[in-house]
Amino acid sequence: MVTVAVFVGAGLLLLVLVVVAGNRVLRSDNPVSSGMADGLGSFIDVFDPARARADRDLKSHDNQGVVTPNPDDDDDRPVRVDLDRRVAKVRKPR
């Protein structure tokens, strides 16, 4: 019975210390909680790795560019190739 009371008391003391420390971090003028957000943001990798990979893949689509050039960009190319006449013309640099 005494050991249960000791564990409950230690648990309550630990809970109070966590609440007080969290309150001090959130109310301080010095913004030091950004590391906490980074640490908690990686929990999705642990609990749902497939979702984390899918999110990273979707985020990488924002950085993709056009693979093929637009037809309007033909005037800017330094080399033009005419396959029908088998001729390649090189434009002089300006």
| 74 token code pair | 């033909």
pTM here is 0.32
Around Cβ 79, how many Cβ atoms within 10 Å? 8
Mean pLDDT on 48-59: 83
Map residue 39 onto helix, strand or coil: helix
Tens of pLDDT, residue by residue over 62-93, are 878 777 766 665 566 778 888 899 999 888 77
Map residue 85 onto helix, strand or coil: coil
- The one-letter amino acid code at 89 reads K
